Amino acid sequence: MKNTFLTLLSGIPRNNAIDVGMFDNASSSFRRYRDRVDLYADQAGEMDSVTEKLQELFEAREDAFRQAQTDAGGNITRKEFLNTLRPMVILITDAVFVVDTMSMMNQTTLAKLIENGGRVGIYFILGAVFGAIDRKYDDIITIMKKQKVGVLIGRITDQNILEVINRPYREQNLLPYEAYFIKHGKAEKIKIAAPYQKREEVNVSV
């Protein structure tokens, strides 16, 4: 899971078309990317602050959509409005850590943003270890369990959160960098790209 987020983060400097926010994990594993993202949090106060900023952005964009509808006499769709916005992608690298760290009030706010943010171009990519969320029912985890699209790094038979209709018969363990992309019940095996590393960051002998 960590490598998957590293792969996403390594591509951020080459994509100027989006804004990115990140909630780090308990070990602050992604702190070195802090200067590459627009919003960053790895402590309770920062998480609450980022959530409040996202809520303000959500409300401002909802107001802007209503104004755009008024200006266009109702002849603008939400999809057309979204095309005028700069997307914001929020990476939550460990949902359980966020739940255990944030205030309850802002957890509820964040859960609503996860559920409705896509209406105004705010999108969330959430990560969690299955065993850690299986018996949790906090607002954020409950929203996660409702998701119909996700990447599963592990066997389908070892989890029951992402529903899969075409379950493989006698499923084998995945090979390194293999995963399943699951969308509305259909699972497809994929390869996850290894995180990009500069040559000097890799211990190799030639």
Domain limits for position 43? 2-146
DSSP string, 54-103: HHHHHHHHHHHHHHHHHHTTT---HHHHHTTSPPEEEEES-HHHHHHHS-
Do the strands 149-152 and 122-126 form a parallel or antiparallel pair, or are they unpaired?
unpaired
Q: What pLDDT is stored for residue 204 in this prediction?
A: 41
Judgement on whether residues 121 and 190 belong to the same structural domain of the protein: no
Residue-wise pLDDT for 118-169, tens only, equals 999 999 999 988 878 877 788 898 888 888 899 988 888 888 888 889 888 8
Judgement on whether residues 81 and 91 belong to the same structural domain of the protein: yes
Among 78, 88, 33, CA closest to 56: 88
Among 61, 58, 15, CA closest to 37: 15
Judgement on whether residues 14 and 68 belong to the same structural domain of the protein: yes
77 occurs within a structural domain:
yes
- For the chain, the domain total comes to 2
Judgement on whether residues 67 and 120 belong to the same structural domain of the protein: yes
pTM for the full model?
Answer: 0.85
| CATH classification of the domain holding 93 | 3.40.50.300
Q: What pLDDT is stored for residue 206 in this prediction?
A: 36
Give the end of a domain, one of 110, 126, 146: 146
Among 122, 123, 133, 192, CA closest to 162: 133
206 occurs within a structural domain:
no
Residue 129 carries which DSSP code?
Answer: -
